[in-house]
């Protein structure tokens, strides 16, 4: 394939998969920003709020590993993306139609199952379509730039504006439309990667969970995933409630703060992977994973002007730029292309089960017993722990460590 065509395919793939993941994340985050409207209508407790996040994370974890592994076994990617786009769009409509807590919970379970494999399969396509020099940058663009802009910057403004004008249910209805449009565009314009699983790699791609976790980096990335996913999920679920119920911000003020925070992951999604392409994966992981602790620290303890509060929280969430590294790039480089979707799905799945299911359920109970600051303090501790664990990662960047040594790491 000529270089110009190859580069054009790379750009087209990054843009369309970025938009697709962005709207998938938009759907996931919708519940977070609509809690001030849903909680009083259904008379939800903090434990039930945590359960809504945990339910989606639970099935997200199952889908990420099981369907990611299935994608490796079949050697195809696009059918999984297209099915996910269509089904999670329908699940978003079901969320808007929910007459009670249990129906809403069921819709989140379905959404998590089909959105779970979306990220690992997307990243597997991006790794295949990207040269090594842009691998980190492209995964950061897909996961953090598009995901953050649509899921954490556009979502709070759009969801709350629609909810205030037409009711919170309308926010879920409108969220379904982009997913269906993007399914058509990906079907038409994104090529299935050529031979994603070779005959030789197929056998190694069939590694079980234990065999993959025997690789030190896979085990450490899974632990980091537990901690950072937990920290960010707790922040996403409970920051809107903390800002409105404890700090006294109006819903529109809370939305403005959350929208500002939503602009910082794109910066991190470009900055952190770009740095990792040049100086290695490990050092940026240590620095920026630790930095995420600044967001809950400022939310709970900083009592100064709103602008400075927002700036401090903004700086902390730049650390979300680490997610493409420990969820995608480092597992892919560690296994040298062997069962990459399954490995990424494993890291995502473990993080979702622990940080996304156990953490919000436990934090919800703590919030009911001791106040809404407890989930944020738990997130602070988890961020600091992730930075500590990252110190023990083995370097995988071919520019810093030879490819052969990286592939042999265990």
Q: For residues 243 and 255, what is the distance between their CA atoms, to the nearest angstrom? A: 10
CA angle 283, 284, 287 (to 5 degrees): 85
Structure tokens at 336: 């040298």
C-beta separation of 324 from 123 below 8 A: yes
Angle at which helices 282-291 and 264-279 pack, to 10 degrees?
160
pLDDT at res. 25: 80
Write out the DSSP string of 352-375. Answer: IIIIIIIHHHHHHHHHHHH-THHH
pLDDT of residue 357: 77
pLDDT value at position 339? 63
DSSP state of 410: -
Q: How many CB atoms lie within 10 A of CB 164?
A: 14
Report, as ranges of residue numbers, the positions in the chain whose pLDDT lies below 70. 1-5, 148, 152, 194-207, 336-339, 401-410
Structural domains of the chain sorted by starting position, each given as residue range(s) with its CATH number in brackets:
3-191+204-408 (1.20.1250.20)
Residue listed under structure tokens 């040594």: 405
Nearest to 287 by CA among 332, 329, 331, 318: 318
Q: To which H or E segment does residue 10 belong?
A: helix 3-42
CA distance 143 to 135: 12
Which 8-state DSSP code applies to residue 104?
Answer: H
> What pLDDT is attached to residue 287?
96
Confidence (pLDDT) at 285: 96
Tokens of 36: 């001030």
**Residue 194's pLDDT is what?**
65
Backbone angles phi, psi at 40, to 5 degrees: -70, -30
Residue with tokens 């400075």: 308
pLDDT value, residue 231: 92
* pTM summary value: 0.72
């Amino acid at each position: 394939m000529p270089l110009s065509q190859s580069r054009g395919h790379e750009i087209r793939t990054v843009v369309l998969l970025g938009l697709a993941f962005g709207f998938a994340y938009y759907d996931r985050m919708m519940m977070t920003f609509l809690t001030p409207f849903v909680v009083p209508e259904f008379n939800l407790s903090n434990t039930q709020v945590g359960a809504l996040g945990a339910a989606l994370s639970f099935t997200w974890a199952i889908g990420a590993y099981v369907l990611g592994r299935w994608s490796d076994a079949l050697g195809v990617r696009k059918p999984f993306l297209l099915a996910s786009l269509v089904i999670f769009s329908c699940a978003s409509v079901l969320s808007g139609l929910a007459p009670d807590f249990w129906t809403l919970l069921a819709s989140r379970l379905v959404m998590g199952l089909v959105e779970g494999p979306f990220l690992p399969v997307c990243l597997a396509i991006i790794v295949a379509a990207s040269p090594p020099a842009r691998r980190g940058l492209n995964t950061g663009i897909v996961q953090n730039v598009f995901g953050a802009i649509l899921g954490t910057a556009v979502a709070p403004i759009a969801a709350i504006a629609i909810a205030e004008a037409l009711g919170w249910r309308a926010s879920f209805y409108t969220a379904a439309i982009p997913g269906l449009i993007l399914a058509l565009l990906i079907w038409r314009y994104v090529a299935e990667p050529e031979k994603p699983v070779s005959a030789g790699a197929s056998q190694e791609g069939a590694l079980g969970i234990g065999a993959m976790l025997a690789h030190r980096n896979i085990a450490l990335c899974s632990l980091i995933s537990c901690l950072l996913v937990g920290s960010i999920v707790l922040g996403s679920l409970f920051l809107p409630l903390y800002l409105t119920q404890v700090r006294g911000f109006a819903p529109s003020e809370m939305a403005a703060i959350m929208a500002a925070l939503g602009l910082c992951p794109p910066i991190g999604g470009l900055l952190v992977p770009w740095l990792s392409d040049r100086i290695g994966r490990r050092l940026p992981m240590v620095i920026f994973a630790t930095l995420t602790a600044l967001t809950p620290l400022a939310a709970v303890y900083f009592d100064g002007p709103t602008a400075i509060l927002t700036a401090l929280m903004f700086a902390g969430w730049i650390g979300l730029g680490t997610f493409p590294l420990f969820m995608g790039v480092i597992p892919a480089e560690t296994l040298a292309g062997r069962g990459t979707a399954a490995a990424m799905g494993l890291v995502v799945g473990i993080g979702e089960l622990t940080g996304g299911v156990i953490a919000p359920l436990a934090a919800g109970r703590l919030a009911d017993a001791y106040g809404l600051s407890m989930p944020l303090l738990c997130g602070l501790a988890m961020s600091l722990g992730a930075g500590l664990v990252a110190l023990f990662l083995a370097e995988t960047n071919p520019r810093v460590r030879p490819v052969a040594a990286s592939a042999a790491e265990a």
